Amino acid sequence: MADYQAPLQEMQFVLEALAGLGTITRLSPFAEATPDVVEAVLGEAAQFAAGVLAPANRIGDLQGTRLENGGVRVPREFAEAYRQFVAGGWPGLAFPTDQGGQGLPYVVGVAAEEIWQSANLAWSLGPLLTQGAARAIAEHGSAAQRAQYLEKLVTGVWSATMNLTEPQAGSDLAAVRTQAVPEGDHFRITGQKIFITWGDHDMAENVVHLVLARLPDAPPGTRGISLFLVPKFLPGPDGQPGARNNVSVVSVEHKLGIHGSPTCVMAYERAAGWLVGAAHEGLACMFTMMNHARLCVGMEGVAIAERAYQQARAYARERVQGRVPGAGARTAIIGHADVRRMLLTMKAQIEAMRASAYVAAASLDLAHHAADPAERARHQTRVELLTPVIKGWCTETGQQLTSLALQVHGGMGYVEETGVAQYFRDARITTIYEGTTGIQAADLVGRKILRDGGAALRELVGEMAATVAGLQRHEAQLADVRAALKEGIEAIAAAGAWLAANHARDPAVPGAVAYNLLMLVGTVLGGWQLARAAAVACDRLAAGSGDAGFLAAKILTARFYAGQIMPAATAWRRGIEAGCEPLIALADEQF
The residues carrying an active-site annotation are 434
Helix (H), strand (E), coil (C) string for 80-105: HHHHHHHHCCCCCCCCCHHHCCCCCC
Nearest-CA neighbor of 253 among 122, 118, 81? Answer: 122
Q: Are 316 and 408 in contact (CB under 8 A)?
A: yes
Give the integer Cα–Cα distance in Å for 230 and 326: 68
Q: Are 42 and 16 in contact (CB under 8 A)?
A: no
Region for residue 233 given its phi and psi (left: phi exceeds 0; alpha: psi -120 to 50; beta: otherwise): beta
Q: Are 406 and 420 in contact (CB under 8 A)?
A: yes
Nearest-CA neighbor of 282 among 214, 196, 203? Answer: 214
State the maximum Cα–Cα separation within the chain, in Å, rounded to a whole number.
Answer: 84
Give the integer Cα–Cα distance in Å for 510 and 519: 14
Q: How many residues would you count in the chain? A: 591
Q: Are 221 and 245 in contact (CB under 8 A)?
A: no
Phi, psi dihedrals of residue 235, rounded to the nearest 5°: -60, 135
Give the integer Cα–Cα distance in Å for 333 and 341: 12
Non-local CB neighbours of 373 within 8 Å, separated by 6+ positions? none
CB atoms within 10 A of CB 539: 15
For 188-248, give the DSSP string: EEEEEEEEEET-S-SSSS-EEEEEEEB-TTPPSSGGG-EEEEEESEEE-TTSSEEEEPSEE
